Amino acid sequence: MTDTNNSPLEGAVLFYSNPEPLDPALHGALGVNPTDKPYAFVAQTNIVPLTVTEFAAAALSYPIIFTGENRQPVVVMGLRQGENLYVSDAGDFRADAYIPAYVRRYPFVFADDKQNQRLILCIDRGAEIVAEGGQNPLFVDGQPSDYTNMAMDFCNNFEQERLRTESFVQLLKDLDLLDIREAAFTPRNPDGTPGEPQKLAEYYAVSEDRLKALPAEKLAELRDNGALGQIYAHLVSLLGWDRLIALAFQRQAEAPASVN
């Protein structure tokens, strides 16, 4: 996480080092350059926030878990902090993996201007793709360009999905469905016998037992409002821990041998 004490953003925001509110006077000559590796920056983290409407798509690629006091849903992309098994050393994102909207909106983000009760579109001046005379200008004749307006629309949609996600998580809390769970891995000894289990992570997940114990009318309500489908997408995604372990072994096998 980054230090944003001098930023208009409330709190630290993953990936953003220097977000500034867009201003034609300050950013009139700025643009965003296209790159063939636009998501290389994701290699620095093993978890990325997710909105609830992305659960089904993301479940095909990653475990979806809930973390922290706010029970923020995130996808797990690596087994260790600072490691991402879906981004190569060259900065290539796995072609078959879902890319969360949180990542796709970069280098744009909304700041919460609580004093004026509004959201302000910001851009990360620390992003390498943001430069003077960039190929996609932020402003044309002092007005937001089509590129900037598209970014605004995307961030608006993301904000709506973020609020929807907060409501979904609150519903899980109200029904007391979240429980602490562990991800573990049991290695094999050289003789083929199981080794000592190794704890990979501790996180919050929906308890299937608590879900089944809900009254029939509450289950029907969850089905009708779409929450039940998202819950099952989350539960199915937890099978993805095995995929992460396999990817970790694959990366280890592909790593060059260390030189003594």
Domain-embedded: residue 151: yes
Residue 257 is predicted with a pLDDT of 59
| Count of domains for the chain | 1
Q: Is residue 11 part of a domain?
A: no
Which domain, by its residues, includes 206? 19-245
Residue 254 confidence (pLDDT): 81
Q: Is residue 110 part of a domain?
A: yes
Does some domain include residue 6?
no
CA 122 to chain CA centroid, Å, is 19
At 67 the pLDDT is 94
Residue 117 lies in a domain: yes
In a domain, 4, yes or no: no
Is 5 part of a structural domain of the chain?
no
User: Number of C-alpha atoms within 13 angstroms, CB side, residue 52?
Assistant: 23
Per DSSP, 194 falls in state B
Look at residue 116 in the predicted model and tell me its pLDDT: 74
Torsion-angle region of residue 43: left (phi > 0), alpha (psi -120 to 50) or beta? alpha
Residues of the chain whose pLDDT is less than 70? Answer: 1-12, 187, 191-192, 194, 257-260
Residues in CB range of 40: below 8 A, 6 or more apart: 87, 91, 92, 93
Per-residue pLDDT tens digits for 31-73? 999 999 999 999 989 999 999 999 999 999 999 999 999 999 9
Specify if 250 maps to a domain: no
Q: What is the pLDDT of residue 143?
A: 95
Q: What is the pTM of this model?
A: 0.87
